[in-house]
Amino acid sequence: MGGSTPGGGAQSGPPRGIRNTPMLKLGVSYYGNRIPWRVKEDLKEIKEAGCTYVVHTFSEEDLEFYLPAMAEIVNATHELGMEVWLDPWGVGQAFGGETYSSLIAKELSVRQISSDGASLPIACPNHPLFREFLLKWIQAGAKLKTDLLFWDEPHFIILPEREDAPPKLWACRCPVCQELFKQRTGRPMPDLLTPEVRAFKEECLVECTRFLCDATRAEGLKSSVCLLPFKSSSTVNNWSKVAQIPSLGIFGTDPYWQPHQREIGSFVGRFAKEVKALADQFGKEGMLWILNFKIPKGEEGTITEALEAGYAQGIRNFAAWSYYGAAPMNLRAEDPAAVWKTLSAAYQEFHRRKG
C-alpha cells in the first residue's frame, strides 16, 4: 500500500561488484489535527516539500477516539503516493511523545515502580498488561493499513543521573521486574542500581523492542526503531543489540542539537556514522531524525548542516520532527515558516542528487 517513492518502483539490483545506492527516503512527523479534510491540505504541502513518507502519531487518544479520522488520514497519505509510518506517541509514556497516557491512569498495576517503592507515571515494558495493550495498538495500526510501525525511543523512566555516581532513584522494581530478575540471576533484585541491574534493564528494553518488531512483522508490517542518543541506565546503550533484531528493518537515532550542541556537523555526523556502520553490519537501513523544533530564529541553516552531515556518512533516510517547525506547540521553532522552507529546500536538493 502506498509506498511509492520518487525513483522507486521495481529494482533490478546493481551489477555484481557495484554497491547498491540506497533509495532516498524523506519524511516528516505530523500530529495535532484530526480533521481529515484539513489534514489533506497539509499533506499536499508535505508532498510538495519532497517528502516520500509521513510519520503520523497514533496516540492512546487516537486509538480510543479517532480511528475513523486516522483511517482517512492514512488513506489520504497513500493517495498522495507517500508511505505511512505510525508512531506510538506517548503510549504508556514509555515511548517519546508530548501527550498523555490514559492507560497509566486507569491501570495502576502497569506502572513502573521506583527503587524507593513509588508508583511512577510510566508503564513498565516488562508488564504483561502493557505488552497486551501494545499488541492491540499494533493490530489497530495494521487495520489502518499503515506501511510501518515506528518504535520511538523505548525507555524506562529517565531520572537525573550522573556518569560518575549511581543515581539514588531508578526504576523499575515492580513485581514483574523483580520476579524476572530473580529468575535470571537466582538472586532477589537489589534496591541499588548495580551493574547487574543496569545490564538487566538494558536487556529488558532490547527484549521488549524485539517483541514489538516480531509482533509487527506478524501483521505483515515493517518496523523502524529510534534509540535515544545519550547514555543512561534507562535507555539502550549498546545499540548493536537492537540493530541485530531480525524482524527490524530500519534503525536510527535522533541527535537533536538544541540547546547544548554548537558543532552541528560533527555532533550529527558522529551519530550518523555509528548508525550507518551498525545498519551495514546487520543488513538494515540506517535513518536519522532531524531537529525541526526549538530552532532559534536565524539558525535555520543548522537543519541543512545536520542533513548534510548525515548524507556525507551515507544516510539516505531522514525524517524531521516535526511538520512546519512544530508551529502549534510550546516547543515550536521561533520562525516555523523559515524552518519549513529550509527543510523543503534541503529535501528538494537531495532529490536532485544522483547517489
Asked whether the bond before 322 is cis by omega within 30 degrees of 0, the reply is: yes
User: Smallest distance, Å, CB 22 to Zn ion?
Assistant: 38
User: Smallest distance, Å, CB 205 to Zn ion?
Assistant: 11
Choose, by CB under 5 A, the member of 54, 134, 172, 248 that binds Zn ion: 172
User: Smallest distance, Å, CB 139 to Zn ion?
Assistant: 24
Q: Single out the segment in contact with Zn ion by CB under 5 A; choices: 126-134, 143-151, 183-191, 302-310.
A: 126-134
Question: Using CA atoms, how far apart are residues 200 and 259, in angstroms rounded to an integer?
Answer: 32
User: Smallest distance, Å, CB 126 to Zn ion?
Assistant: 5
Decide whether 172 or 288 has the Cβ nearer to Zn ion: 172
Closest by CA position to 303, among listed 283, 327, 333, 271: 333
Q: What are phi and psi of 256, to 5 degrees?
A: -75, 130
Question: Using CA atoms, how far apart are residues 6 and 233, in angstroms rounded to an integer?
Answer: 41
Residues in the interface with Zn ion (CB under 5 A) total 5
Question: Using CA atoms, how far apart are residues 288 and 28, in angstroms rounded to an integer?
Answer: 11
Q: Single out the segment in contact with Zn ion by CB under 5 A; choices: 92-100, 118-126, 237-245, 315-323.
A: 118-126
Asked if 104 interacts with Zn ion (CB under 5 A), we say no
Asked if 174 interacts with Zn ion (CB under 5 A), we say yes
Are 309 and 275 a contacting pair, CB within 8 Å?
A: no
C-alpha cell at 148: 510501518
Question: Using CA atoms, how far apart are residues 351 and 354, in angstroms rounded to an integer?
Answer: 8
Q: In this structure, what DSSP letter does residue 162 have? A: B
Choose, by CB under 5 A, the member of 46, 124, 206, 236 that binds Zn ion: 124
Choose, by CB under 5 A, the member of 26, 144, 177, 213 that binds Zn ion: 177
State the residues that interact with Zn ion by CB under 5 A. 124, 126, 172, 174, 177
